Structure 1
Amino acid sequence: MKIAIVGCGAMGSIYAGLMADAGNEVWAIDTWKDHVDAINRDGLRVEGASGDRRVTSIRATTDGAEVGVCDLVIVATKASGVAAAARTALGLTGPDTVILTIQNGLGAADRIAEAIPTSQVMLGVVGGFGASMRGPAHAHHNGMELVRLGEMDGGETVRLAEVVKVWEGSGFAARGFPDIHQMIWEKLICNCAFSGPCGVTGLTVGQVLDHPDAWKIASSCAAEADTVARTKGIRLGFEDVEDYVRSFGSKIRGAKPSLLQDQEARRPSEIDAINGAIPVEAAKVGLAAPINATVAGIIRARESGF
């Protein structure tokens, strides 16, 4: 299968490395020129829970026009980059191309749908990877949990099963779901627990779990998100939100969420799509989310100086 990864950062590099190693024709499209040049020169190194490998078959570029029509386009940018990525993806799209967008938080699907018909769009939710870049053409990840996939318009389709097989054939645990929006909210709740709180405190996931004050903030963020989701009528696959996010975090204790990595690198984060999205969604159903609003406000204030 011919696959393009639009946004080949930490998570995108893991997708690209494992999918290319499985024999797919993989193109990595990214704006980081040093990263692109290093992949083309030396190959892409992916290490961590999936092993340690250097993949030399990936074609990397900063210009999506070089790629041509693909069978599968995976948009793996940060939330702020989705609109530009959608325009790139459009140039890679034929009548049978599947566009799969995988981001943290809310809003990415709507931005993709502004450029591409929803009938061609799938949504993905991944968790438990704890990915980071060690340098150009060198990605690391702490875990390797389930990749959840679904049609944006819902339902179980033949092509969804085919895309799941591509992921499975590349070494990922993957599963298709008829209601991917449930999965998005379940991941968002975990992100609210650890993204903003880790960014504010500078602590890893495990350190947040172990520190009473940090955990109070994290669990409160998760509880607010849980209440909003249930009020909106989202069906969640768990009962106790605190147990749910604690179990999630315990599997990636050493991880620094990407939002914390952004803070350390002094670059804008995805806070508005994660903790910052909860007060917005809460207002739609007559609720408030003051803890998430406070955490998001602190992050925004810090980023105003970046």
Structure 2
Amino acid sequence: MTLERTRIAVVGCGAMGSVYAARLASVGHEVLVVDAWADHVRAINEHGLALSGPDGDRVVRISAHTEVPAAVVDLVVLAVKAAHVADAAASLAPLLGPGTQVLTIQNGLGSAELVAEIVGAERLVVGIASGFGASLRSPGSAHHNAMRALRFGAHGGGRLEQVEEIAQAWQLAGFDAEAVPEILPMQWEKLICNVAYSAPCALTGLTVSEVRDDEHLGAVSRAAATEAWEVARAVGVRLEVQDPVALVRDFAARMPLAKPSALLDLEAGRASEIDVINGAVPREAAKAGLAAPVNATLTALVRAREVRPTEED
């Protein structure tokens, strides 16, 4: 992998994928994108991919496709929603050469295991994106409000040198990107924050700070986070976090007006990723012979909301 001219395919060019692709391409990486939204792909090919944000506006010329092209790359960035991970991973063969690495970045837990089974654990890197606020304003045009950190780790540990090369390629594009020797604790720390707000916000339409500060919902949010923290410790995850309530309150303070993706999905009439966020906690708890009733209940309520939306929807 040549840092100055890495060949990168971003599969899943939604809001987050567009941020990744535009910034990576803007510093000289050879980027192509794949997305099922035909209007988005057409706009990118005709006018370029536009990205706006606090650090300025840019338009990059890249190749966009609705299906995976036969073009071997150095790095595949799998940025689809968790529900589409298995199908997307199964489509990657035309992009994969002997040295191609696959970086998968999704919310929640469970996606990496699915991708590893399909592309091979030896080439898989897991990414965590924290503090990002991104949206698609129109076909071919994305915006981001914030862009805090990306952390990368080899699936199952090891291969730190290779992961560091990937992180350096992203650093060239202005990302706060680092390779870490163990990614699982960081996945759980993000999950603890997500379970505190994903379901409560999705069920009420409130922002993260509104949930945090609400007399009733705040208690539910804190209970969900504490339960996830207890489950992580029970299954042997080496967490550095000692106070899950302080963690999630600080999370909300950094982005008080944010709406979690689960709420945005419901507002758009899409199925959310609640099964890999709040729903991941009871699945992991079962591995230790435990129950996670708070997160199990929240997951069930969001699923019911998806199946039977309210009259206002």
| Cα-to-partner distance string for 1:269-305 (whole Å, 9 max, x where unaligned) | 1111010111111122122211111111111112124
Q: Is 1:59 aligned with 2:51?
A: no
Give the CA deviation at 1:9: 0.8
Q: Is 1:105 aligned with 2:108?
A: yes
CA contact (8 A) 2:151 2:180 kept: yes
**Correspondence for 1:28:** 33
Query: In structure 2, do the counterparts of structure 1 residues 134 and 275 end up closer, same or farther at CA, with 3 Å as the change threshold?
Result: same
From 148, 157, 162, the equivalent of 1:154 is 157
Percent of matched pairs sharing the same residue = 49
Q: Which AA in structure 2 matches 1:22? A: V
CA contact (8 A) 2:160 2:180 kept: no
Provide the C-alpha distance between the structure 2 equivalents of 1:230 and 1:171, rounded to a whole number of angstroms. 34
Query: In structure 2, do the counterparts of structure 1 residues 148 and 222 end up closer, same or farther at CA, with 3 Å as the change threshold?
Result: same
Q: Is 1:78 aligned with 2:78?
A: no
Give the CA deviation at 1:32: 0.8
Provide the C-alpha distance between the structure 2 equivalents of 1:259 and 1:49, rounded to a whole number of angstroms. 24
Give the CA deviation at 1:213: 2.0
**Correspondence for 2:136:** 133
**Correspondence for 1:144:** 147
- Secondary structure (helix, strand or coil) at the match of 1:142 reads strand
- Secondary structure (helix, strand or coil) at the match of 2:57 reads strand
- Secondary structure (helix, strand or coil) at the match of 2:58 reads strand
Query: How many residues get paired?
Result: 304
Provide the C-alpha distance between the structure 2 equivalents of 1:231 and 1:158, rounded to a whole number of angstroms. 31
**Correspondence for 2:47:** 42
Give the CA deviation at 1:188: 1.0
Deviates more, 1:187-196 or 1:130-139: 130-139
From 14, 18, 34, the equivalent of 1:13 is 18
From 241, 247, 252, the equivalent of 2:250 is 247
| Cα-to-partner distance string for 1:118-138 (whole Å, 9 max, x where unaligned) | 010000011100222222222
Q: Is 1:197 aligned with 2:200?
A: yes
Provide the C-alpha distance between the structure 2 equivalents of 1:223 and 1:212, rounded to a whole number of angstroms. 17
Listed as ranges, the matches of 1:285-300 within 5 Å are 285-300=288-303
**Correspondence for 1:275:** 278
Provide the C-alpha distance between the structure 2 equivalents of 1:111 and 1:50, rounded to a whole number of angstroms. 35
CA contact (8 A) 1:151 1:178 kept: yes
Provide the C-alpha distance between the structure 2 equivalents of 1:129 and 1:159, rounded to a whole number of angstroms. 25
Consecutive unaligned residues of structure 2, counting only runs of 5 or more, are 1-5
Provide the C-alpha distance between the structure 2 equivalents of 1:244 and 1:113, rounded to a whole number of angstroms. 30
| Cα-to-partner distance string for 1:178-216 (whole Å, 9 max, x where unaligned) | 111111111111111121111111111222223222222
Give the CA deviation at 1:67: 4.7
Query: In structure 2, do the counterparts of structure 1 residues 51 and 212 end up closer, same or farther at CA, with 3 Å as the change threshold?
Result: farther
Provide the C-alpha distance between the structure 2 equivalents of 1:10 and 1:193, rounded to a whole number of angstroms. 23
CA contact (8 A) 2:104 2:125 kept: yes
| Cα-to-partner distance string for 1:148-186 (whole Å, 9 max, x where unaligned) | 001103025321111010110011001111111111111
TM-score where L is the length of structure 2 = 0.93
From 185, 191, 196, the equivalent of 1:182 is 185
From 196, 203, 212, the equivalent of 1:209 is 212
Q: Which AA in structure 1 matches 2:216? A: D
Q: Which AA in structure 1 matches 2:75? A: L
CA contact (8 A) 2:275 2:299 kept: yes
| Cα-to-partner distance string for 1:51-83 (whole Å, 9 max, x where unaligned) | 32222x22111010x251010000011101100
CA contact (8 A) 1:72 1:100 kept: yes
Give the CA deviation at 1:257: 1.3
TM-score where L is the length of structure 1 = 0.96
From 119, 126, 137, the equivalent of 1:116 is 119
Query: In structure 2, do the counterparts of structure 1 residues 28 and 152 end up closer, same or farther at CA, with 3 Å as the change threshold?
Result: same
- Secondary structure (helix, strand or coil) at the match of 2:216 reads helix
